[in-house]
Structure 1
């Protein structure tokens, strides 16, 4: 789908929506890089935010606890390249979904993940999240990791530092407003990273996550093709890229229903990353 069609389809969804509320999904992997980043100043949340619901049995333990809204992020080191795969032992894999949340496709993906008791990462766009905050709350409440994928999905390498900060910071704000925690992971749209993105992400307390296996589901290649790419690319530490918005994602919805039980039967543990403290 062309870029203008991509954004038009998403903006049609931006009618008002009620605030959702739930807890947080902490998640983490080992930090790396060379330069320490200073804390970013952030404004205080408005009075419209609801009180978070009690954590469910599936919720991951929060990294930062239940501190005040817009708290200064944890200091991270600046990486020079994104994380491409999961480190450690065992047959672990990570499923990730970009560009949502979408009111039609995302709930079906969440239902399938819940059916098999699996956690995943969702890298959300702010302009989608603002109209679907209840889905962000559901993601967190069910133990998934909600990551930052910018506000409008721009090509960051064409933007100045101030514009990149705005894209990232606004999205972190809307995520925090939805369920009370700022994101700890960031993914650059199109996988196009630059020094500013790494630096600003670290300042905001976010690690950069890329992927190992691309399903190319955004091209709508057919359900069978998506399933084959996931199953043939499966290996310990693999991070799989899929999408739950940005176009017709019915193939992606059908595909996960097929490849997820296959991966589990093959001995893979579908999990989310943890950053060592």
Structure 2
């Protein structure tokens, strides 16, 4: 997706923060063993001590729902805040990638994840996914979770309910056709949710997922800076935001190659959340 198709990210982040504040302070929810959130103190992840441990044998184990999922999902509750963190056994973290898939960068990210037997979440834009369905099929084959990131990456809080529904529904359809399942997770562009967005995503069977650590790779700050953001923010339950499209993501590709083995060697479980099914 061309960068100039989006509104300026910094401006949208400011607008998104205001919109999100109106919907309720995010960061106070963690996803535990079931679908109901538990409240925690809202705090940003800071630098953590990282003793060197053997890589975990459970790095591919999902957080919940250890059996094969059934076809019919339980009715999705309407949230008032997105999930910012997840809970799981040990030092669990989740890596997420937005705005793709992009044939220039996404395959390299998938290659690195496969090399280390790690699964991640990809929040895809429908118009990108529609042209790169083979990459969604590969994500399915390799056990990654694909979430909905709207069709064209708009600021949803400025759209009508019908437009919001169209953005989400069209993307869910493409994901289902290419990935094999409808998405169960949604991330609002620029982190901007409001009541209508929460209601519509729930109607479409999706839960809202935000993030704990922003790598700020969309600013192309340099590979070392991206690595530092991840390693300094690493902590149990952290959700890391990166990008595999929307601009030049070569720094994001190189950064993943550096920080992923370090996180694993430090004893982190890089995995994906699972929703409970009825």
Give the TM-score band, short-chain normalised: 0.7 to 0.9
Q: Displacement of 1:5 after TM fit? A: 4.7
Q: For 2:195 and 2:154, locate their aligned partners in 1 and report how far apart those are by CA, in whole Å.
A: 16
Confirm or deny: 8 A CA contact 2:149 2:189 kept in the other structure. Answer: yes
Aligned twin of 1:102 = 102
Deviations 1:53-105 (A, max 9, x none): xxxx999965344xxxxxx8641111110000012331000000000000010
Matches within 5 A, 1:99-138: 99-138=99-138
> Which secondary structure does the structure 1 equivalent of 2:86 belong to?
coil
Deviations 1:204-233 (A, max 9, x none): 111110000000100000000000000000
Structure 1: 5+ residue runs without aligned partners? 8-27, 34-56, 66-71
Change (3 A) 1:182 1:62: farther
Match status 1:141 vs 2:141: yes
Matches within 5 A, 1:50-199: 63-65=69-71, 74-199=74-199
Deviations 1:156-187 (A, max 9, x none): 10001100000000000000111321000000
Which of 21, 31, 35 does residue 31 from structure 1 map onto?
35
Confirm or deny: 8 A CA contact 1:157 1:194 kept in the other structure. Answer: yes
Aligned twin of 1:227 = 227
Confirm or deny: 8 A CA contact 1:99 1:124 kept in the other structure. Answer: yes
> Which secondary structure does the structure 2 equivalent of 1:75 belong to?
coil
Confirm or deny: 8 A CA contact 1:77 1:202 kept in the other structure. Answer: yes
Structure 2: 5+ residue runs without aligned partners? 8-31, 38-59
Q: In the comparison of the two structures, how many residue pairs are matched?
A: 229
Confirm or deny: 8 A CA contact 2:94 2:240 kept in the other structure. Answer: yes
> Which secondary structure does the structure 1 equivalent of 2:240 belong to?
strand
Q: Displacement of 1:265 after TM fit? A: 0.5
Change (3 A) 1:92 1:153: same
Q: Structure 1 length as normaliser, TM-score?
A: 0.77
Aligned twin of 2:271 = 271
- More deviation, 72-81/248-257: 72-81
